[in-house]
Amino acid sequence: MAAETAIATSEEAVLVKSLVERSRKAQAQIENYSQEQVDELITAMVWSVARQDVAEKIAKFTVEETQLGNYDGKFLKIFKKTRAALFDIIDDKSVGILEDDKERNIVKIAKPVGVIGALTPCTNPEATPVIKAISAVKGRNSIIIAPHPRSKLTNKMICDLMREALKACGAPEDLVISMDSPSMEGTAELMKQCDRILATGGAPMVTSAYSSGTPALGVGAGNAVITVDDTADLDEAAEKIRISKTLDLAASCSSDNAVIAFESNVEALLEKLQAKGGYICSAEEKAKLQSIIWEDGHIAPRIVAQPASVLAEMAGIDLPDEKTFFIVPETGTGPEHPFSGEKMSVVMAFYTVKDIDGAIAMTNAIQAYQGQGHSCGIYSYSDENIMKFAYATKTSRVMVNQPQAASNSGNLWNGMRQTFSLGCGSWGGNSTNNNITWRDLINETWVSKPLAVTKVIPSDDVLFGKVMAKFK
């Protein structure tokens, strides 16, 4: 049954109602917690999963359950990404007065939303529940996490660890609840009953979130496009493209799906990418890959986040042992050129253009097909090219000289907010462009006092002077 039309059975509706009631009761108990108390809770929650031995166990278990990605990628996310997410928000003020705007004489006070209903994907099931949970609790909310069925045991393991941490701090365990037997119908019911939805997952589920009747924060499809201009350090670019393309076997929506090179550096870049583990496909091999990646116009689940060697075996390609990702030469965009879209695998399309104008046009054409609003990257040391690219592309994020998959959602080397929920703005059908974090999961009360000096509307000559002559 499609997510948009999923209808919960009476038994599922009752079960979800009981979860929401438990969650709401727990949230009420921390509604008046101090900043210090809140920050202790989220610190304990991260520590419960990010300890070396625990992180190793989670990473191993996640790969075993989902058969997606690899141990190294999962370990980095649960061990390092969760730490970085905590570090990013721990000093934020989320209780009491957030802002005191003296000029407008307005004070903004933080208030919790209530029960957050969170949807998490099977491609990033290890750190996503943690980051969503600490964002919720940072705002003095509770959270119910509905995982993809393929990662339900991983989700339960992680939520149980966080619940133990909450209990150790004297807080109610039900601030974090795992939906242990997820279904489309049950998740749809959760979205109806919670106070705000934080949806990360496939397009049908995000669409369902927006149509649930509950305020929702969703994400758009990824299809990151990377430009390498004629000022780039090609060694740097090749290594960072490799990192992004192969991180957790491209489970991330921010993985490089297409690389655009200038004519002047295309041969040198391809040579360096091959030295980093890239394998350039022939026309015949391209057709073979296409036959296994898509089924009836959709990405085949069996190819998602799999090693290059597995894809090669499926496709009947003789891949050298040292090769870890595929490079597919491409010229066109749209449905007739499926490699221009998201691939969720260690496969990237490769385009050649003349200059920055060509790169902008190609990026926009690719993302008009898939991924508009999500993200782009550029390897360049020309501020003129960087800013021209940023102004002219329809994107929420432009990563400059950074591995895209490891940077869009925040990292220690940039100032992006740490999250796994990337809003794509109106371009991607989302209500926000934000890297979604705790500030998106609170209500704010604005206290307005009279100004010391009342504002005076200026005369028409002053206010309309520049346009008045046009109406004579």
d(CA 190, CA 12): 10
- Of the listed 253, 281, 376, 424, which one is catalytic? 253
Percent of residues in the chain assigned helix, strand, coil, to nearest 5: 50, 20, 35
User: What is the phi-psi region of residue 371: left when phi exceeds 0, alpha when psi lies from -120 to 50, beta otherwise?
Assistant: left
Q: Comparing C-alpha atoms, which of 163, 162, 169, 170 is closest to residue 78?
A: 162
Strands 96-101, 106-112: pairing is antiparallel
253 tagged catalytic: yes
Alpha helices per DSSP H over 331-417: 356-369, 383-392, 404-407
Of 384, 65, 395, whose CA–CA distance to 221 is shortest? 395
DSSP for 362-382, written as a single string: HHHHHHHHTTTBT-EEEE-S-
DSSP per-residue string spanning 256-273: EEEEEEETTTHHHHHHHH
> Which whole-number Å values give the CA distances from 384 to 356, 388, 408, in the listed order?
10, 6, 22
Per the structure block, which two tokens stand in for 240? 């960072």
Give the H or E element holding residue 348. Answer: strand 347-353
Rounded distance, CA 364 to CA 377, Å?
13
CA atoms of 143 and 133, how far apart (whole Å): 6
Q: Which residues are catalytic?
A: 253
